[in-house]
Amino acid sequence: MSNRIYERQLDFRVNQQPAKAFDDSLLHAGVQARKRKRGDTEGHGNKKQKQADAGPTKLSARRAVKTEIHADAWHVIFTHCDPSMLFALKSVNREFRKLLDYEGTWKKCRLNNYGEDVPPPPAGLKEYQYLDLLDGQKDCMSCGQKGIRKTYWPFLRRWCKSCFKKKTMKRVDALLHLEAAPNLLDCIIFATTDQFYNYERVGTNGMSGRSIQQHSVCLREDVTRISKEYEVFISSMPTDATLSPEVKEMKKEQWRNQKVSEVQALQRDIETLEAWARQNLSDRSLKIQDVKGQRKAAFVSRALSLEPPITEELLKFMKPFHDAIQINKPFSEKSWTTLRTKLEDRRAAAEAMLAFEKLAKDHDRMNAWQDYQRQRDWHTSEQQERVRKVASEVIRNLEAESAALGPMDYQEFTIRALQEIHSRCEKALPLGVPKNFPAELRQHLLGSVLAIDDAIMLYARDIRPAIDRLPDAPPARQRLFKCPGCMRNDTTHLYQFHDLFKHIRDKHACFASAFDSFWWAGGKDARPLWFAVPWPRNLPLLAKHQKADGKYDPDAVTPYKRPVQITQSSAAGTISAFEGRSAGTLPTSAADESTADRPAGFVGNIVDASRVLRRTPLGPQFRSRIALSYALEKHSSHSIHGASDWSFSTIEDGTGVKYEPLPSIALAEEMIKALAKDGDHDLFNRLCCEACATDRHNATNAFGKNHGATPQSREELVTHYRSAHRHHYGQRMEMRAWTEKLFKLPTGEELWIALTQPAMGVAMAAFDTLFPKNPSSGN
């Protein structure tokens, strides 16, 4: 709805008109009264104009009520609104935006919603910014991701977990940028995280290093800012003998003490604020638990009054009941009416699950079922042999397809193989229930040919060895799948094949739902009876790129779709972005902007490329690839033997193989410092180690980190590379191979696919600036 309509709706004006005497002359007008001439308004008037003059009696979008509300009244109304509503009202129209410019309105709103004991805003924060962090717009302040509530108070920002990692750095990494003055770290605020980089509190943990259970982190921007402020302060001091060294040191100490006192004051404010936030959360939790307890008691009472009654024993198997009692609202008749329909639909399934639970408490019967499961674990029955024979044919076909049309990943191979095996067995193998199958569980197979036990057997005996033969197959412990029942967006848990079914049994099958057939595998503490769980047409197994939407249907078979992303296989046959191009000289306009105040040599070329690419929509990994290629090509063509960047021209490793000159690992550290000083905190950041990704056997270090699969900060990658990769050609040569083995970057083909995507005109223009086409090239 436009702002104009909003203004009309909110401009209240009702003008009551006096009653008019009835004009009986209109009764004798007859046809003439109904058949007026065009433009004749005398005696009758314009009907629409009369309505407009009289004013409406009802509020509508087309007919505005015209009673004025004074600005002071709006201010009072705003102070009693929910904070999230105020942020929505700011975008309604211009008048509201002007009214909400007053700090007092936001302050009173904060006090009315949170009480008088809420701490005041930290230094440098306005009231509306403070209220936004307390309970405002629910999105990431960096990337805009929706549904983000986590506020990192030391940095006064609300971020998603990914942006928090990108924007911060560990204390040990910050020392790399402040080697000349490490005591400047006391001039910036720190936060403490656990070993998984989850925020805990403001302040440092008093320890340093990478192997501890907690880390002290700070903003990358703060490190760059304090370094520049210190340089400006030093440059402002006289360079002659006007001041003695003792006076200079005293002034430095005074400047540092002032910064430290500001940080300490801010830290005290944040500590007070976090203490209040914890107490407020505790108080709110107690109130919420009271409401939920009353709501649960009312639902249980109403369920018992049904005919026949639904006991609390049955309710525990009904997920709608558990969902309903988690809602933070008082009980109402409407909520009970909605829940009652769902409970009635699940009554039969819940009764069957309760009956099985009582059967499973019979130890003799359970021991017999466990014995039957152990017999099947030998995979020697006639039924299992026939299923494996079908599986071997399916696997051969998939391997032939992979060899002919391109390699498959382990997820696609597994899901497609199991779908095809189930389809063939369902059509061609009327095996039925085995003779020695426990009689009490026969009805639960529902006439299914296969059980989950067969899927587990096929994966372990046939599919997993076939995956080992695929090119670039990850190790067995890294072959993970996603659960279709877990719908959280903030985190994704992945499971190995066998563990996934255990997870479904323990978490999702305890309710009457699409997963309730897994209940027949037994309780959490018992060994799973997979032979009793039917293998559905749609096996609850998702690849990493597939999304769980909460609409799992055991009978709906969906063909596997590959992820839509740039991969080496999708880039096969595509030209490289660097084909027919070479690093050029920056134009005068670009050179004036990019070469100002930058280091020389290899690092300077990196900074040049970073400035040209910074405003493009390309991802950081693609910008890193372009910048590194530009710097390598530019500097190798202008290198001087004996320079600090290139201490040799070629090297032989003893086998007659010659290597071109390469920059030393020290330049990687200088590059990171220069980029941080220039304000680029994204280039080469949060990438994986190419050497670890290639050599999977040495990918995990002593602390369990997999640098080849888990993105790390650029500072940590350099430190890791120095200590972990010295074995290929000796330490000297390996340290000079960092340009190829330190960062896992896209290939030239993948870069070309990214550059040719829609809305990449600015990125392509920047790439043409750095790598112009050769005159003889037709690319």
Tell me if 233 sits within 8 A of 259, measured CB to CB.
Answer: no
Token pair 């039924």: residue: 383
- In the prediction, which pLDDT does 437 show? 58
What pLDDT band is residue 332 in, cutting at 50, 70 and 90? very high
Average pLDDT over residues 362-380: 70
Alpha-helical runs (H) found in 531-619 = 588-594, 601-613
Tell me if 380 sits within 8 A of 434, measured CB to CB.
Answer: no
Closest C-alpha among 574, 571, 591, 575 to residue 770: 591
Helix (H) or strand (E) holding 385, with range, is helix 382-405
Q: What is the mean pLDDT of the chain?
A: 79
As a residue count, the chain comes to 779
Q: Is the pLDDT of residue 424 over 90?
A: no
- The 3-state DSSP class for residue 173 equals helix
- Structure tokens that stand for 129 in this block: 């910014």
- In the prediction, which pLDDT does 449 show? 63
Q: Is the pLDDT of residue 607 over 80?
A: yes
CB atoms within 10 A of CB 130: 20
- The 3-state DSSP class for residue 652 equals strand
- In the prediction, which pLDDT does 708 show? 82
- Structure tokens that stand for 87 in this block: 């942020």
- In the prediction, which pLDDT does 57 show? 54
Distance CA 586, CA 612 (A): 9
- In the prediction, which pLDDT does 768 show? 92
Q: Is the pLDDT of residue 655 over 80?
A: no
Distance CA 160, CA 152 (A): 10
Give pLDDT tens digits for 12-68. Answer: 333 444 444 444 444 444 444 455 555 544 555 566 565 555 555 565 666 665 667
Give pLDDT tens digits for 690-745. Answer: 888 887 555 455 455 778 888 888 988 888 888 887 654 444 555 667 888 889 99
Q: Is the pLDDT of residue 348 over 60?
A: yes
Query: Which comes out higher in pLDDT, residue 24 or 522?
Result: 522
- In the prediction, which pLDDT does 58 show? 60
Closest C-alpha among 395, 408, 399 to residue 463: 395
Query: Which comes out higher in pLDDT, residue 662 or 285?
Result: 285
Query: Which comes out higher in pLDDT, residue 608 or 443?
Result: 608
Domains of the chain by residue range: 1-17+38-67, 71-135, 159-279, 377-532, 588-770
Tell me if 147 sits within 8 A of 139, measured CB to CB.
Answer: yes
Q: Is the pLDDT of residue 304 over 90?
A: yes
**What interhelical angle do 761-770 and 620-638 show, nearest 10?**
10
Distance CA 350, CA 325 (A): 18
- In the prediction, which pLDDT does 420 show? 92
Question: Which residue type sits at 123?
Answer: A
Distance CA 256, CA 625 (A): 39
- Structure tokens that stand for 264 in this block: 């300490």
Tell me if 769 sits within 8 A of 612, measured CB to CB.
Answer: yes
Q: DSSP secondary-structure letter at 151?
A: E
Average pLDDT over residues 489-497: 78
Query: Which comes out higher in pLDDT, residue 512 or 393?
Result: 393
- Number of helices (H), then strands (E), belonging to the chain: the values are 32, 10
- In the prediction, which pLDDT does 642 show? 33
Closest C-alpha among 479, 489, 490, 491 to residue 541: 479
Cis peptide before 308 (omega within 30 of 0): yes
Q: Is the pLDDT of residue 476 over 90?
A: no
Distance of CA 541 to the CA centre of its chain: 21
CB atoms within 10 A of CB 554: 16
Side-chain half-sphere CA neighbours of 273 within 13 A: 22
Distance of CA 469 to the CA centre of its chain: 33
Tell me if 661 sits within 8 A of 724, measured CB to CB.
Answer: no
- The 3-state DSSP class for residue 747 equals coil
Query: Which comes out higher in pLDDT, residue 334 or 435?
Result: 334
Tell me if 668 sits within 8 A of 628, measured CB to CB.
Answer: no
Specify the pTM: 0.68
Across 463-565, the runs of DSSP E, i.e. the strands, are 481-482, 494-495
Question: Which residue type sits at 593?
Answer: E
- In the prediction, which pLDDT does 746 show? 92
Tell me if 751 sits within 8 A of 577, measured CB to CB.
Answer: yes
Distance of CA 394 to the CA centre of its chain: 37
- Structure tokens that stand for 205 in this block: 């943990």
What percent of the chain is predicted at pLDDT more than 90?
31
- The 3-state DSSP class for residue 321 equals helix
Instruction: Say which range, 50-59, 316-325, 443-452, 560-569, has the weakest mean pLDDT.
Output: 50-59
What pLDDT band is residue 337 in, cutting at 50, 70 and 90? very high
- In the prediction, which pLDDT does 548 show? 82
Average pLDDT over residues 183-193: 92
What pLDDT band is residue 493 in, cutting at 50, 70 and 90? confident
- Structure tokens that stand for 84 in this block: 């999230």
Query: Which comes out higher in pLDDT, residue 212 or 556?
Result: 556
According to DSSP, the residues that pair with 191 across neighbouring strands are 202, 217
Q: Is the pLDDT of residue 119 over 90?
A: yes
Q: Is the pLDDT of residue 433 over 80?
A: no
Give pLDDT tens digits for 237-294. Answer: 887 677 888 888 899 999 999 999 999 999 999 999 999 999 988 998 999 999 999 9
- Structure tokens that stand for 422 in this block: 């189930």
- Structure tokens that stand for 149 in this block: 């509530």
Instruction: Say which range, 244-248, 587-591, 667-671, has the weakest mean pLDDT.
Output: 587-591
Closest C-alpha among 599, 679, 657 to residue 631: 599
Average pLDDT over residues 480-506: 84
Average pLDDT over residues 484-503: 83
Q: Is the pLDDT of residue 203 over 50?
A: yes
Sign of CA dihedral 4, 9, 13, 17: positive
Distance CA 621, CA 607 (A): 15
Average pLDDT over residues 739-764: 90
- Structure tokens that stand for 164 in this block: 């928090």
- In the prediction, which pLDDT does 404 show? 85
Tell me if 646 sits within 8 A of 672, measured CB to CB.
Answer: no
Q: Is the pLDDT of residue 640 over 80?
A: no
Tell me if 178 sits within 8 A of 158, measured CB to CB.
Answer: no
- Structure tokens that stand for 154 in this block: 């030391």
Average pLDDT over residues 145-150: 86
Average pLDDT over residues 452-473: 90
% helix / strand / coil in the chain, to the nearest 5?
Answer: 50, 5, 40
Tell me if 343 sits within 8 A of 337, measured CB to CB.
Answer: no
Closest C-alpha among 398, 460, 450 to residue 424: 450
Decide: residue 355, CB within 10 A, 0-12 exposed, 13-18 middle, 19+ buried. Answer: exposed
- The 3-state DSSP class for residue 192 equals strand
- In the prediction, which pLDDT does 625 show? 94
Distance CA 684, CA 712 (A): 10
Q: Is the pLDDT of residue 70 over 60?
A: yes
